[in-house]
Amino acid sequence: MNCENFFLYLKYKNSRTAIISIDPIVDVLKMLYTYRSWRKWQQKTTKATNKTEIWMFTVEQIESAHSKIKSGAEFPKYIKDIKEIGVTAFETWVKDSHTEYFGKDNFRTKSKPKYEKMVVVNNGDKDKFIEYLKIHQKGETDYFTFCKHCAETGIEKWIVRLDEMTCIYYDKVGNEVLVENVPTL
């Protein structure tokens, strides 16, 4: 791009016009444009290109991927989709299904609750939970039903770590109830 051709034409109220060369500020304008576009586009770069790696995503992107999922059987596709947009981990709370999503460089965003608060029992039932989980993973229950089953069996939250491809379910005290590998496509 040739910066010599950039001029700013200003028209004043008294019909006078000023022509100002903006050559010195073209880089600033480019930087502002890049910053404005930053939230819309993810930039993948490498050290070889000497650029910064930026991963940003929105709850809307994640919810769009989640809306394609009808049962636990489709969970691997969902994981693949959100991993591609830069999600590195997420923590979902059973009481209302709000989720906090994590990305690189301490980026995080949080979803709103998906339903009215439900009560998570204090005394869990690991065996019953595993039975419900298997049913869900076969595609026999929807997401809300799975969350009700989690609450009924004492699961307070789960954390999915996409770097390790694990999903860890926790009880109300913070104990690990179950650690499973996230299935891949």
Nearest to residue 150, comparing CAs of 173, 182, 167, 128?
128
Exposure pattern of 76-106 as b/e (b: 16+ CB <10 Å)? Answer: bebbebbbebbbbbbbbbbbbbbbebbbeee
Of residues 99 and 10, more confidence is placed in 99
Identify the bridge partners of residue 20 per DSSP, sorted by sequence position.
8
Integer Cα distance of 49 and 53 in angstroms: 10
pLDDT digits (tens, 9 = 90+) for 95-129: 999 999 999 888 999 999 999 999 999 999 999 99
pLDDT digits (tens, 9 = 90+) for 151-184: 999 999 999 999 999 999 999 999 999 999 987 7
- Domain extent listing, the chain: 3-37, 59-181
For the domain with range 59-181, which CATH number is right: 3.30.1810.10, 3.30.1540.20, 2.60.40.10, 3.40.47.10? Answer: 3.30.1810.10
Amino acid letter, 136: H
Amino acid letter, 67: S
pTM of the model: 0.67
Residue 69 burial (10 A CB sphere; 0-12, 13-18, 19+): middle
Tokens of 134: 């298997």
pLDDT digits (tens, 9 = 90+) for 50-80: 444 555 889 999 999 888 887 667 878 889 9
Nearest to residue 151, comparing CAs of 182, 174, 129, 168?
129
Residue with tokens 């444009």: 33
